[in-house]
Chain A
Amino acid sequence: DTEVTQTPKHLVMGMTNKKSLKCEQHMGHRAMYWYKQKAKKPPELMFVYSYEKLSINESVPSRFSPECPNSSLLNLHLHALQPEDSALYLCASSQEEGPYSNQPQHFGDGTRLSIL
């Protein structure tokens, strides 16, 4: 069973739409991550929240906007996306994050996003 839950599983949207991806974990983890993954490529880090504060933004375009309402929830708001943004978006969580952290990251099943 997946301990990190992502919704929706699939999303098709036009370039002018606004949508949100949601992620939830109940493992008491204090770090949550958004990754983008293209087929047969490694996950590419987008954002990291640590103790509900944004700690890493990997120079992601502003059409992607993360939000962490509480320690269990992570959202990714999407607006005016481009066709090249079509990918699998993965959420992950870990006990903590930081330069001295060596905790495993657990991934959700992802949202497969298609931009028309």
Chain B
Amino acid sequence: GENVEQHPSTLSVQEGDSAVIKCTYSDSASNYFPWYKQELGKRPQLIIDIRSNVGEKKDQRIAVTLNKTAKHFSLHITETQPEDSAVYFCAAGPSGNTGKLIFGQGTTLQVKP
């Protein structure tokens, strides 16, 4: 079935460094790729998304890139801050003949002060 692989599962960086999280999807029909940030005990919060008609999107310190040919997309966080520490999930959709999102397994990002 449809699958999204996310790497790495954990990532530790020093404050001020950049962090990159990568995802690969299997369903070539997917055209929507959101990223969610989930802090401990809180809801998944949409932080950025990209549609397949663009290759890159940026919002302040966060950027997402998409390579449709290779079925890869990545989240880039620059100048990381301790408050960026959270679990990040990528997702891809629609999946099959439904509007389902397929989520990656998540990346736990720790930003050390």
Contact = CB atoms under 8 A, between A and B. Distances in A.
Interface of A: 2, 31, 40-43, 45, 48, 50, 55-56, 90, 94, 96-110
A104 B46 contact: yes
Nearest to A45: B100
B99 A43 contact: no
Nearest to B34: A104
B42 interface: yes
Contacts of B99: 31, 48, 50, 94, 96-99, 101, 103
B10 to A, nearest CB: 10
B42 A99 contact: no
Contact of A109 (B32, B42, B51, B94): B42
Tier of interface size on chain B: 20 to 34
Given A41-B106, A98-B99, A102-B31, A90 B94 contact: no
Given A90-B43, A104-B34, A109-B43, A56 B98 contact: yes
A104 B94 CA distance: 11
B112 to A, nearest CB: 19
B44 A90 contact: yes
A56 B100 contact: yes
Given A40-B106, A48-B100, A97-B99, A2 B43 contact: yes
Contacts of B104: 42
B87 interface: yes
A56 B99 CA distance: 9
Interface string B65-76: 000000000000
B108 interface: yes
A8 B10 CA distance: 32
